Amino acid sequence: MKDDLPPGLPTFDDVLAARDRIAPHVHRTPVLTSRMIDALAGAQLFFKCENLQKAGAFKARGASNAVFGLTEDQAARGVATHSSGNHGTCLSYAAGRRGIPCTVVMPRTAPQAKKDAVRGYGGTVVECEPSTSSREAVFAEVVARTGAEFVHPYNDPRVIAGQGTCALELVDQVEGLDAVIAPIGGGGMVSGTCLSLSQVAPQIRIFAAEPEQADDAARSFRAGHIIADDAPETIADGLKVPLKDLTWHFVRNHVTDILTVSEAEIVAAMELIWKRLKIVMEPSSAVPLAAILKNPDLFAGQRVGVIITGGNVDLKKLPWM
């Protein structure tokens, strides 16, 4: 049964508006293929390379839509968020493009490369403990002190609409897709994908992929309600956050299944992509390929879009080193 619509749910018109709004500030990212990886998967895979996006992640789309949609009065107070890395980096990028302040609350355990990236784009980092409860408590203090506009990493209609522009590009670049798969943490990219594909290509099945050690979205999907873990441990640091009401709506109503993979499977898929596609991408981005390789019967003989969500990895701490 469909759930009740949560307030503030973005529409497909919001995605179309976002596409026009962010066009000057983001890349139309390329799609790569590999015959060798196709042979391993038993399917045709089309990798949408958001690791080559501005600021190194798909989240530049949602962040830019939020920042450039602010009124002048809102923008004058700046923006703030909590993030394990990519959303904070991308919000700092977008805020820098508009010339407004940005504060990011980050776990002290977040990769140094991501902290440096936030600061490199002019953002201010405030550290917290590596748990959802600490992150939200410290963030509340920041907003009270600065009065900044909160741009949630994923449970924000402006952000979801911006992320939905990625799937629009993908179906324009690749015809005849049978399925699309993306990593899931809080569900912003998956929600945007659901929002767009349900309108322009409803026949395409949508899968989400998640680490076994941070599988709250998969457990939520099976239970029929949100299950939130406070501080999961996984190499896929971008996928540690729980679903919220807006993203849960899209996941519950449009996702075909959520597949989980082990830490070893994530590392193997990441190394395979580095070797065969010759691109820099982070562990979270390898989770979808790991899920395809683990579940060959689900994708056999199909044309599958695989969203590589980000490339902001600490090159001094690669998991196979």
pLDDT in tens, 94-104: 999 999 999 99
Kindly write down the DSSP assignment for every residue of 147-176, as one continuous string: -PEE--SSSSHHHHHHHHHHHHHHHHHSSS
> Does 281 score more than 50 pLDDT?
yes
- Whether 281 and 213 map to the same domain: the answer is yes
Q: Hey, what amino acid is at 45?
A: L
Residue 80 pLDDT = 97
Q: Hey, what amino acid is at 260?
A: T
- Whether 273 and 240 map to the same domain: the answer is yes
User: What CA–CA distance (Å, rounded) separates 321 from 314?
Assistant: 12
Whose tokens are 């949602």? That residue is: 62
> Does 6 score more than 70 pLDDT?
yes
Mean pLDDT of 274-301: 97
> Does 3 score more than 70 pLDDT?
no
Please list the alpha-helical segments (H only) found in 54-111: 59-68, 72-76, 86-98
Do the strands 179-183 and 303-308 form a parallel or antiparallel pair, or are they unpaired? parallel
- Whether 298 and 193 map to the same domain: the answer is yes
180 located within any domain: yes
261 located within any domain: yes
- Whether 126 and 175 map to the same domain: the answer is no
> Does 205 score more than 60 pLDDT?
yes
- Whether 123 and 192 map to the same domain: the answer is no
Task: Report how far apart, in Å, the C-alpha atoms of 123 and of each of 85, 186, 275 are.
Answer: 12, 22, 33
- Smallest Cα–Cα separation from 251: which of 262, 264, 242? 242
Residue 7 pLDDT = 87
Residue 151 pLDDT = 96
316 located within any domain: no
CATH number where 73 lies: 3.40.50.1100
Mean pLDDT of the chain: 94
Q: Which domain holds residue 65?
A: 60-150
> Does 1 score more than 50 pLDDT?
no
Mean pLDDT of 269-287: 97
- Smallest Cα–Cα separation from 163: which of 179, 143, 136, 183? 183
User: What CA–CA distance (Å, rounded) separates 251 from 170?
Assistant: 19
Domain final position from 122, 150, 178: 150
7 located within any domain: no
- Smallest Cα–Cα separation from 157: which of 247, 224, 23, 32? 247
> Does 111 score more than 80 pLDDT?
no
Mean pLDDT of 216-236: 92
Task: Work out the widest C-alpha separation in the chain, in whole angstroms.
Answer: 55
- Whether 108 and 166 map to the same domain: the answer is no
- Whether 124 and 171 map to the same domain: the answer is no
27 located within any domain: yes
* Stated pTM of the model: 0.94
> Does 318 score more than 60 pLDDT?
yes
- Whether 113 and 41 map to the same domain: the answer is no
292 located within any domain: yes
Of the ranges 43-52, 233-242, 280-289, which one carries the lowest mean pLDDT score?
233-242
- Whether 209 and 131 map to the same domain: the answer is no
- Whether 30 and 169 map to the same domain: the answer is yes
Mean pLDDT of 222-245: 90
- Whether 250 and 140 map to the same domain: the answer is no
Burial state string for 287-313 with b = 16 or more CB within 10 A and e = fewer than 16: bbbbbbbebeebbeebbbbbbbbbbbb
- Whether 301 and 210 map to the same domain: the answer is yes
Tokens, residue 63: 């962040």
Task: Report how far apart, in Å, the C-alpha atoms of 98 and of each of 8, 122, 222 are.
Answer: 25, 12, 42
Domain final position from 126, 150, 174: 150
Number of folded domains that form the chain? 2
Residue 109 pLDDT = 87
Task: Report how far apart, in Å, the C-alpha atoms of 141 and of each of 86, 123, 145, 148, 240 are.
Answer: 22, 17, 6, 11, 22
Q: How far apart are the first and last CA of the chain?
A: 47
Residue 175 pLDDT = 97
179 located within any domain: yes
